Structure 1
Amino acid sequence: MNKKIWCAVLLSAVMIVGAGCGQKAKTAPPPPASASEPSSFQADDSTSPPDAESTPPDDSTTGSASGNDSGGDTGETKGEAGGQAVQDQPSVQKLTIDVFYTDPQEMELKKAQKEISFESDIEKYVHAFKALQDSGSSDLVPLWGKIELTKMSVDPQDAGLLHMDIHIPDEARLGSGGEQFALDSLKQTMFQFDEIKAIDLLVDGQAVESLMGHMDLDHPIKRGE
């Protein structure tokens, strides 16, 4: 009889130890890596999120939530969060810049002034290029009017290096004089921003030797050269 009791006790102990060993420690999954998005513009980027808009809260929803939770605290928290969201929105800045075109006979560069609006540095550069594409005057011929800007970004390792990628349709190609004026107008327009020290200009993603087949194209184009 004692032998049977001791066998039962021993069997129970073995089962308890086995159950404890069978359990696996649960480990929390690693936190997702934080993604940093570089400052860039891409003409065909359909995945860019729309600009955030401040939407006023629905009174009925707010009242219902306040009734379920602690009324005063909930309303105060929502108000603080809403105020913070408004403060975090970038402010629109305006700047008058020099933009360079040519005359109808392509004899020389002509300087004009335009006002641009932007919320970030990359938007400032994009709108400066867009100003090169439209003079708004028949006496000032834009040399970049038919050239398409497909991508623009600031180098993540060198904030003074501006990357540009363009597409040149056949009807946008110029002669040697026009090509030189186009490069000069780009340099004089973009290098007025002190933070830009160099421009790497690509055509369809390629570092071509010449913009339109007449003039050499440096990679990058440096300020003062």
Structure 2
Amino acid sequence: MKTKLGCALVLSFLMIVGIGCAQKPVSESGSAEPAVQGGQSPNPSETKVDLGTMNTQAVEVYFADAQVLELEKKEQEIEYKDDSEKYKKTFEALQNNTDSELVSLWEKVELLSLQYDEGKVTLDVHIPDEAKLGTSGELLALDALTQTMFQYDEVESIDILIDGEAMDSLMGHSELEHPIQREP
């Protein structure tokens, strides 16, 4: 009886250890790095120090004038940890207008995800009814986004998905290319 109980305990222990070792948390970047929870490293001899270095950069962001007839460029500071976060922070700057004389055409648009891969920025957005604009507003919104994102030399194209789908139009008025290519 004691032997069976001992074997069961040892087997249970090995299963728990095996399950724990088999599951490596996947970081946001997709790599299987050891997760650090509660501020402690899983193995003190393998401590990875994330200095949390923040980069600060001035970016050009485009907003519409009060009549939504033309775009005006404003400079804003963004902070980001790495290049993948740089484009997201740039889009967020496009949504956050600090000048009461100007209008953010992307303010009410919800960013579901943003990815950068080999020169292509892919945005997946949700456009609620209150964020939809007329024809000229839609064209200005696309211009504001492309001028803002194409300020980065490495960005060659932008693809905008609406709720995960490549739609014919951003807001129902003008044609939406997939992807939008940088003009030479």
| Pair in the same fold by TM > 0.5 | yes
**Matched residue SS, 1:145:** coil
Matches within 5 A, 1:75-224: 85-86=48-49, 88-155=50-117, 159-224=118-183
| TM-score normalised per structure 1 | 0.63
Give the Å deviation of 1:35.
Answer: 9.1
| TM-score normalised per structure 2 | 0.76
* Root-mean-square deviation (Å): 3.0
**Matched residue SS, 1:154:** strand
Q: Which runs of 5+ in 1 are unaligned?
A: 1-28, 41-48, 56-77
Larger Rg: 1
Larger helix proportion of the pair? 1
Deviations 1:22-46 (A, max 9, x none): xxxxxxx9x9799986749xxxxxx
Whole-angstrom CA distance in 2 between matches of 1:97 and 1:135? 13
Change (3 A) 1:171 1:161: same
Contact 2:27–2:35 (8 Å) recurs in 1: no
Change (3 A) 1:50 1:131: farther
Q: Which runs of 5+ in 2 are unaligned?
A: 1-17
Larger strand proportion of the pair? 2
Deviations 1:112-169 (A, max 9, x none): 00000000112111110011111111101000000000011123xxx11111100000
Deviations 1:181-218 (A, max 9, x none): 00000001011111111111000111000001111100
> Where in structure 1 do 4 or more consecutive aligned residues deviate above 6 Å?
31-38, 49-53
